[in-house]
Amino acid sequence: MGANVHSMRSAATARPGSQEPGARVLVVDDEQSVRQVMVRMLSNAGYRVTAANDGEEALALIEREPVDLIVTDLAMPKTDGMTVLRTVRERDQELPVVLVAGAPTTESAIRAVRYRATEYLTKPLDPDSFLDAVHRALQMNRLAALRREAVELSQHQSRDVSELRELNDKFERVLSAVYMVYQPIVSWSRQAAFGYEALLRSTEKSLPHPGAIFEAAEKLVRTADLGKRIRAVCGGPMKDADPGCMLFVNLHSRDLLDDTLFDSSAPLTEWAERTVLELTERAAIDGIADIASRIARLRSLGYRIAIDDIGAGYSGLNSFATVQPDFVKLDITLVRGLDNDPVRRRLVRLLAELCSDLGIFVVAEGVETTGERDALIELGIDLLQGYLFARPAAPFVKPQF
């Protein structure tokens, strides 16, 4: 620890000013020398810093005075860092908390994800990486605040009927012109396509990209109409797919409320035994009544279930117990630059080990470089998807290895 403290002290006076001047940071660590160095580094970077000797003192401090970020050691003799994180989350879903672990474990990493730690760093700390993590956490918090303000503002503004009517007309034209493109998910060990993800497109360009289409569906409260249309067309090419090739189809959480999803005569049901329905982690499933029974009904039809965007969602690993997925898909934010980021590699390794223990297949999305590919393979992930193998195209493009 002494060498680490010395290196941190050397960097503490060499960091330029913060891009969040005046941000209030609470540092929690029972080791005085480490605590003092982190305080000095953050103060020199332009932050207003308060320190606490343990979690109990930290929780008392934030009761008296709000902070913008908490940096806390994981292992402390009284109230530990995980308790601090859990208690903060009970009060505030978005306050950034950076956990620092001297002896990281799979269990602590899983709990950190479960309680939505903003960053999970390991000792010895690299000074530049530490300050970058603090900067990222505060930037994320600032963006969340801006989003809240935007939502609150929109709730107080009356909807312009003519604009909604125009948007609805565009949406109708888009629905009538929907088609799907397919991106392969490859099995590296087999050097073959394991399956294809169906991705939304439309020849009608008044809503110019899939994001605009989904946003319009949300604004018009017509996600069910869009979901039905996608499911009606995405399975069509499966008759020409290789035997055993799987189809991955995105499913909005509210699609689970649509009875046509469970209709044995629906177009997609024909391919249910070769279809994986992807529930995104970005959309909360907590408000769906009887979700376990609805998932069971889908499985009885032959569907398999995936949780998409792991690493980017709001509910962390909580949905594992509810959904009990057959597949999870790592979000692109975990995959991007994985080969040059030891923290991401550690998180992906822990997720891969957890899924292996639970009998869940892992798919890594957004693979664009050979470095990312090789790092994922080294971590034991065989199913890969991304531009490195093929871009989304008409069915069914052959992946490049």
63-112 pLDDT tens trace: 888 899 999 999 998 889 999 999 998 888 889 999 998 888 888 888 88
Nearest to 123 by CA among 88, 97, 98: 98
Architecture, CATH, for domain 2-153: 3-Layer(aba) Sandwich (3.40)
Token pair of 154 as six digits: 């929109």
Averaged over 260-275, what is the pLDDT? 93
Selected from 3.30.590.10, 3.20.20.370, 3.20.20.450, 3.30.565.10, the CATH number assigned to the domain covering 161-385 reads 3.20.20.450
Give the least confident one: 172-176, 328-332, 364-368.
328-332
User: In the prediction, which pLDDT does 321 show?
Assistant: 74
Averaged over 171-197, what is the pLDDT? 96
User: In the prediction, which pLDDT does 146 show?
Assistant: 79
User: In the prediction, which pLDDT does 10 show?
Assistant: 39
Task: Give the confidence band of 318 by pLDDT, cuts at 50, 70, 90.
Answer: low
Q: Is the pLDDT of residue 17 over 60?
A: no
Averaged over 188-208, what is the pLDDT? 95
Task: Give the confidence band of 157 by pLDDT, cuts at 50, 70, 90.
Answer: low
Give the least confident one: 164-173, 229-238, 250-259, 271-280.
250-259
Strands, sheet with 24-28, edge to edge from the N-terminal-most edge strand: 48-52, 24-28, 69-73, 97-101, 119-122
User: In the prediction, which pLDDT does 281 show?
Assistant: 53
Mean model confidence pLDDT for the chain:
86
Task: Give the confidence band of 311 by pLDDT, cuts at 50, 70, 90.
Answer: low
Query: What whole-number percentage of the chain has pLDDT above 90?
Result: 55
Domain boundaries along the sequence of the chain = 2-153, 161-385
Distances (CA, A) of 161 to 75, 152, 362: 56, 20, 45
Which residue reads 């040059």 in tokens?
340
Token pair of 281 as six digits: 């982690």
Token pair of 124 as six digits: 């010895």
Cα distance between residue 119 and residue 102, in whole Å:
14
Q: Is the pLDDT of residue 5 over 60?
A: no
Q: Is the pLDDT of residue 6 over 90?
A: no
User: In the prediction, which pLDDT does 201 show?
Assistant: 95
Give the least confident one: 26-30, 155-159, 178-182.
155-159
User: In the prediction, which pLDDT does 143 show?
Assistant: 80
User: In the prediction, which pLDDT does 18 show?
Assistant: 41
pTM of the complete model: 0.60
> CA-based angle 89:93:98, to the nearest 5?
65
User: In the prediction, which pLDDT does 286 show?
Assistant: 64
CB environment 266-295: b (16+ within 10 A), e (fewer): bebbbbbebbbbbbbbebebeebeebeebb
Q: Is the pLDDT of residue 19 over 50?
A: no
Averaged over 326-338, what is the pLDDT? 91
